[in-house]
Amino acid sequence: MAIILIEFNVEEKDEYSIVKFELKGNITPEVLKNLKPPQINPAKGVVLTGRGPIWLYCFLSHFYHPTRFIAVYDPRIGAVITESHSEKSIGEIIKI
């Protein structure tokens, strides 16, 4: 039985899906090998949020690459657009 070390939750908004993760222990990069983040509607954007290592965020950014845009939630700022195939521009902030 695989131990699930990363728990994902998806909250749907009109323009984007908020993919929130929670670490259930100390993760190592090994965890990326079999990680299956939730599938979402690629016609919408994705906002990534959760406390975790930068390499997990970069992995998730790549995983969700086919979506309309990707934003990273920074608690001090809001959700920052880091890539976009839409009218949103890089560096733009979404208040979620």
Binding positions for a second copy, rule: CB under 8 A: 28-33, 48, 53-55, 57-59, 61-62, 65, 70-72, 74, 77, 80-83, 89-93
Nearer to a second copy, 10 or 84 (CB): 84
Q: Using DSSP, how many helices (H) and how many strands (E) does the chain show? A: 1, 6
Q: Smallest distance from the beta carbon of 49 to a second copy, in angstroms?
A: 10
Nearer to a second copy, 40 or 72 (CB): 72
**Pairwise CA distance, residues 37 & 9, whole Å:** 9
> Are 7 and 21 a contacting pair, CB within 8 Å?
yes
- From the list 35, 45, 94, the residue with the least C-alpha distance to 65 is 45
Q: For residue 61, give both structure tokens.
A: 């950014």
Nearer to a second copy, 14 or 76 (CB): 76
